[in-house]
Chains A and B, each alone.
Chain A
Amino acid sequence: EVQLVESGGGLVQPGGSLRLSCAASGFTFSSYVMNWVRQAPGKGLEWVSAITGSGDGTYYADSVKGRFTISRDNSKNTVYLQMNSLRAEDTAVYYCAKRGSGSLSSYFQHWGQGTLVTASS
């Protein structure tokens, strides 16, 4: 059974930093692109970032480019999101999401439970 467990959320002042983690199990982690998706309170879903299975390719939404960095440690089956220069508008639940199986299956088949990040003074 696929499991994705996020951690690292919390309250941080604007301008501060936070690192989120997503621990994965139940599949061959290094074979899958992993994603972060966020949802501001009462708002819709926003894709944030993705990283290839080997870690050599990373992708970002314009809203976080230059401030957030995605990475992974395949020996620990964990993907990370380093968030710097946080703004009030980054306040959201952050979900880790795994793509489907197959080379053309870039939809989000499995999701974690989410971790709440609040950027506020």
Chain B
Amino acid sequence: DIQMTQSPSTLSASVGDRVTITCRASQSITTWLAWYQQKPGKAPNLLIYKASSLESGVPSRFSGSGSGTDFTLTISSLQPDDFATYYCQQYNSYPYSFGQGTKLEIK
């Protein structure tokens, strides 16, 4: 089974900051990686798929990169609506797996 490890677990930042979240897979998943944003009490929302493809309707300040085992999600200039929890997910093979999440907090 493929294990996904995100870092950091918590990130404190300010509006306007550039932030990066890292996700590492325990084996190569080529680019079969997605990123989701989740707000309290709500279902997750797809941001990025295939490691770097932006989902329709998602602001361009979100971007993804990486391949193989190492991936990043970058928010170029944090907005108040971006404070949430972010998850990576591999869909290279079953059982699909998620990272443990990164909570982005207001500094």
On whether the two chains bind one another, the answer is yes
Q: Which residues of A contact B (CB under 8 A)?
A: 35, 44-47, 50, 59-62, 95, 100, 104-109, 111-114
Q: How far is the CA of A35 from the CA of B96 in the complex (A)?
A: 10
The DSSP consensus for interface residues of chain B is loop
Stretch at the interface among B20-28, B41-49, B72-80: B41-49
Contact yes or no, B49 A105, CB < 8 A = yes
Q: Given the interface contacts A106-B91, A108-B44, A111-B43, does A47 sit within 8 Å of B96 by beta carbon? A: yes
Contact yes or no, A44 B43, CB < 8 A = no
The answer, among B94, B98, B101, for a CB contact under 8 Å with A59, is B94
Task: Check B71 for interface membership: any CB of A closer than 8 A.
Answer: no
Q: Given the interface contacts A47-B97, A62-B95, A100-B49, does A113 sit within 8 Å of B87 by beta carbon? A: no
Q: Given the interface contacts A44-B101, A105-B49, A107-B49, does A112 sit within 8 Å of B43 by beta carbon? A: yes
What are 14 A-B contacts with C-beta separation under 8 Å? A45-B89, A45-B98, A45-B101, A47-B96, A50-B94, A62-B95, A95-B43, A95-B44, A106-B96, A107-B49, A108-B34, A108-B36, A108-B46, A111-B43
Which 7 A-B pairs have CB atoms at the shortest separation, nearest pair first? A107-B34, A111-B43, A106-B91, A47-B96, A107-B49, A45-B98, A59-B94
